[in-house]
Amino acid sequence: MMEIDRLTKRFGSREAVSAVSLAAADGEFVVLLGPSGCGKSTLLRMIAGLENPDEGSIKLAGRDVTQVEARDRDIAMVFQSYALYPHMTIAQNIGYPLRVRKQSALEIEKEVTKVAARLGLSGLLANRPRQLSGGERQRVALARAIIRRPKAFLMDEPLSNLDARLRVEMRAELKHLQHELRTITVYVTHDQAEAMTLAHRIAVMCDGKIQQYDTPANVYHRPANTFVAQFVGSPSMNLIQKSDAILGIRPEDVELSLDEKPDWSPARIYVTEEMGNETIVILADGSSQLTARTTAGFRADFDTPVWFRFRPEKLHRFDPSSGARLAC
């Protein structure tokens, strides 16, 4: 297990990470999700030993590693920039951690061959990093991490330099690979699609604090507060100010009709966005706007009258002062 207890990091007067606690079970994939500057990368760097915490502790497999040097923590880190050695071949890059451990050339060659085959790199071992595409370089970085067989993998936005198609492909590879290896993985991203598809549990962060640490399903369907409600989900949850509570409704839970229906509320089409597999509709409801997700076949011009209602069982309620979730 990995156990983080009240971890805090300050830069001058600013508290970048504030008393963060979380635990990850053996083989669990944990995603740190949040906007830029929320403290997720700083938290990851403290787990890695690249930043020293001001308070709190980090335990890995029952061992307190808070003051242990990064090289002695038995973890492997995968960076956004790949961090490959340009003068080395791909085989040399992958095998470098074993060379540092002074393993024999025969052992290194055997392990490199095995890991390269698993990641589809067998035909590239004689190449150098500059000859590879971004996706291939990222697989090399993963192979170099895997060959160490560490107690934990730490990944800092490793897919952000890839184009959209490659990101989707690499997400699938990462998820399957982590399932096979069953090694604790802590993964930093600001991309909610990555978080939702990869994680066993997501830690949603804002202003150095964890707002919710839960399964992807619970983060989406039972957000702990208005920040989580709006940060997770695309388009984000509609929030409607009421006197006693803030009401929340996901766009897919707003029903639309171009025909007038009793007890439904009137509005007008502000804009429609055809996505191919669905249509996003933004309604003008008096002085406010409301977003709905509907079928691909929905068609309506600007200012067309429309009627809508909320699915009552899908309504969320939040405290107007704190933003915390209220019992429905």
For 64-121, write each residue's pLDDT tens digit. 999 999 989 989 988 877 788 999 999 999 999 999 888 999 999 999 999 999 888 9
One domain for residues 155 and 64? yes
- Is residue 112, in this structure, part of any structural domain at all? yes
The Cα–Cα gap between 86 and 106 comes to 23
CATH number of 148's domain: 3.40.50.300
Q: What confidence score (pLDDT) does residue 262 get?
A: 92
If you average pLDDT over residues 237-242, what whole number do you get?
Answer: 94
Which helix or strand (DSSP H or E) is residue 187 part of?
Answer: strand 184-189
Q: What confidence score (pLDDT) does residue 56 get?
A: 97
Computed over its alpha carbons, how large is the radius of gyration of the chain? 24
Distance of CA 171 to the CA centre of its chain: 11
CATH number of 296's domain: 2.40.50.140
- Is residue 232, in this structure, part of any structural domain at all? no
If you average pLDDT over residues 134-159, what whole number do you get?
Answer: 89
Q: What confidence score (pLDDT) does residue 162 get?
A: 79
Burial 178-209 (b: 16+ CB within 10 A, else e): beeeebbbbbbbbbbebbbebbebbbbbbebe
One domain for residues 43 and 188? yes
The Cα–Cα gap between 198 and 43 comes to 19
- Is residue 203, in this structure, part of any structural domain at all? yes
The Cα–Cα gap between 8 and 196 comes to 26
The Cα–Cα gap between 252 and 280 comes to 9
One domain for residues 196 and 74? yes
Q: What is the mean pLDDT of the chain?
A: 93
One domain for residues 205 and 303? no
Write the DSSP string, 7-28.
Answer: EEEEETTEEEEEEEEEEE-TT-
One domain for residues 46 and 144? yes
The contacts of residue 147 (CB under 8 Å, 6+ apart) are 94, 95, 97, 98, 111, 112, 115
The first and second tokens of residue 1, run together, are 């297990």
- Is residue 231, in this structure, part of any structural domain at all? no
Q: Please say whether the beta carbons of 10 and 56 come within 8 A.
A: no
Q: Which domain holds residue 290?
A: 237-326
Q: What confidence score (pLDDT) does residue 135 get?
A: 84
Q: What confidence score (pLDDT) does residue 282 get?
A: 97
Q: What confidence score (pLDDT) does residue 286 get?
A: 77
Q: What confidence score (pLDDT) does residue 261 get?
A: 93
Which domain-ending residue is among 226, 259, 281?
226
Q: What confidence score (pLDDT) does residue 138 get?
A: 85
- Is residue 137, in this structure, part of any structural domain at all? yes
Under the phi-then-psi rule, with left for phi > 0, alpha for psi from -120 to 50, and beta for the rest, what region is 88? beta
Mind listing the pLDDT tens digit for each residue in 270-317? 999 999 999 999 999 877 899 999 999 899 999 999 999 999 999 999
One domain for residues 320 and 201? no
Q: What confidence score (pLDDT) does residue 108 get?
A: 94
Which domain-ending residue is among 201, 226, 251?
226
Q: What confidence score (pLDDT) does residue 181 get?
A: 86
Which domain-ending residue is among 193, 226, 259?
226
Q: State the alpha helices, DSSP H only, in the chain.
A: 40-48, 90-100, 105-118, 134-146, 164-181, 192-198, 216-221, 226-231
Q: What confidence score (pLDDT) does residue 75 get?
A: 92
One domain for residues 47 and 119? yes
Whether pLDDT at 328 is above 80: no
- Is residue 63, in this structure, part of any structural domain at all? yes
Mind listing the pLDDT tens digit for each residue in 170-213? 888 889 888 888 999 999 999 999 999 999 999 999 999 999 99
If you average pLDDT over residues 222-237, what whole number do you get?
Answer: 96
One domain for residues 198 and 246? no
Give me the number of domains the chain comprises. 2
CA neighbours closer than 13 Å in the CB half-sphere of residue 93:
28
Angle between helices 134-146 and 164-181 (to 10 degrees): 10
- Is residue 71, in this structure, part of any structural domain at all? yes
More confident residue, 81 or 244: 244
Q: Please say whether the beta carbons of 215 and 230 come within 8 A.
A: no
Place of tokens 């500057």: 37
One domain for residues 104 and 216? yes
One domain for residues 38 and 146? yes
One domain for residues 221 and 246? no
Distance of CA 215 to the CA centre of its chain: 12
One domain for residues 245 and 134? no
pTM of the model: 0.90
Whether pLDDT at 233 is above 90: yes
- Is residue 205, in this structure, part of any structural domain at all? yes
